[in-house]
Amino acid sequence: MSSSQRLSTRVGKRVADSFNHRKFFEIVGLRAKSSDEVKKVFLVLDADNSGYIEEEELKFVLKGFASNGRDLTDKETKEFLRAADKDGDGKIGIDEFAALVKE
């Protein structure tokens, strides 16, 4: 099994309500990436190109890393958003995302 297949399996087969953003960023190797690389990931996750990752986009974050990734539950999505949204505007800006990845 290739490393990308192992990653896809680890990302995609998590049980509902088990998502942990710190573990996730570590598993996918995002914590070790440069600031520019993290910002590129943000731009991919910002599906509507608004400059923010909104709650609806956040729900699908696992699918951005593995084709067999599941949707986050509403509870997981809200917890992820709460962890990242430092200014309380209900969405994740690029700087908030970068800070969360490096936590």
Query: Which residues sit in the known binding site for Ca(2+)?
Result: 46, 48, 50, 52, 57, 85, 87, 89, 91, 96
How far apart are the C-alpha atoms of 49 and 28, rounded to whole Å? 23
How far apart are the C-alpha atoms of 12 and 70, rounded to whole Å? 6
Tokens of 100: 């969360």
Q: Which residues are annotated as a binding site?
A: 46, 48, 50, 52, 57, 85, 87, 89, 91, 96
Give CA torsion, residues 60, 66, 69, 75, to 10 deg.
Answer: -40
